[in-house]
Amino acid sequence: MKKLHIVGGGAIGSLVAAGAQKNGIGNACYPRNIVAMPTEALWQDGGSTMLQPPFNTPTVLDSSDVLVFPLKVYQLQQAITQWLPYLENTPTIVLLHNGMGGLETARSLLPDDYPILLATTSHGALKETTSSGKIQVRHTGLGATQIGLAKATRRLPATLSALTLTYPLQANAIALLERALPPVHYQANILTSLWTKLSINAVINPLTALNNMQNKRIAEAAFAETRHAICHEFTSVANAYGYDFNEDDVHEKVLAVAKATGENYSSMHQDVLYGRPTEIDAINGYIVEMAKKKGIPVPENTLLVERVKALRL
């Protein structure tokens, strides 16, 4: 029987698990710290779902199972390495994280032909502890998940129904996630979606972290020059790798997302606030590294990486 296996006890992973539980889908969670795993999910309609008790250790998965890594890029190497002995039946892996670089990490540890799906989500989720000490995950914003195959030996099908004919297990994995936490949209070229998400994160995450502010303040005139500089550098780098981004469109999309999630605090803001490692290397740092390979100057992104890292000194 197909089952979702979710690594970690973060907000998005917990929300996926709760959605699976709510909709009768077999699921299991494997947090690094069982004590910090939420026990209940609170939905936007006022309902709630109790999460199943998590597991201490991995287990051998079936080929029809789906292993989801809703982790930060810097956590992936250790997590995937821990799971390697349990992947003998080649269950589909889903990488679900902000920023870029996760695929490179996974490819360095797994066989070249291992089935990997890349995903990015705009759902909002927040872990919180009640006054009684109960840990909950709250669905703070309805979004959507974009997902697609990381690599294929032939031209990828344009639709999910067509994908079912050539990659049935991966198509089933997408359908399973759709049942757990809709909507989920299949993308034949998922990398374009990931670069689009990167353009938004590259502006909102570092600026909210550095200025201790909510997402909506990104739209203020005081940040206009920096916004435009980041978008200009992003567009130059992305297009050097064969994409077709328009700088003005990128900037408008950033403003639209900042306003739509205005009351939220970015994940990087929260990481800085609570003294956790940030994803700056997988976001602005990724732009810097890709720019170096093409000889493109990106002073604004370089400075942002340095400034965010300095916050932890």
The CA dihedral of 16, 18, 19, 25, to the nearest 10 degrees, is 100
From first to last of its 313 residues, the chain has per-residue pLDDT tens of 689 999 999 999 999 999 999 999 999 999 999 999 999 999 999 999 999 999 999 999 999 999 999 999 999 999 999 999 999 999 999 999 989 999 999 999 999 889 999 999 989 898 999 999 999 999 988 999 999 999 755 678 889 999 999 999 999 999 999 999 999 999 999 999 999 999 999 999 999 999 999 999 999 999 999 999 999 999 999 999 999 999 999 999 999 999 988 888 899 999 999 999 999 999 999 999 999 999 999 999 999 999 999 997 6
Q: Where in the chain is the domain with CATH 3.40.50.720?
A: 4-188
Q: Which of 251, 235, 248, 94 is nearest to 175 (CA)?
A: 94
- CA angle, corner 246, sides to 144 and 223, nearest 5? 80
- Can you give the pTM of this predicted structure? 0.92
Give residue 152's pLDDT: 54
DSSP β-ladder status, 135-141 and 40-42: parallel
Q: Which of 72, 197, 293, 294 is labelled catalytic?
A: 197
CATH, range 191-310: 1.10.1040.10
| Positive or negative: CA dihedral 100, 104, 109, 112 | positive
197 an active-site residue?
A: yes
Give residue 141's pLDDT: 86
Give residue 23's pLDDT: 96
Q: Which of 17, 24, 23 is nearest to 40 (CA)?
A: 17
Q: Where in the chain is the domain with CATH 1.10.1040.10?
A: 191-310
For residue 32, the SS3 value is coil
**Beta-bridge partners for 66:** 4, 92
Give residue 153's pLDDT: 53
CATH topology assigned to domain 4-188: Rossmann fold (3.40.50)
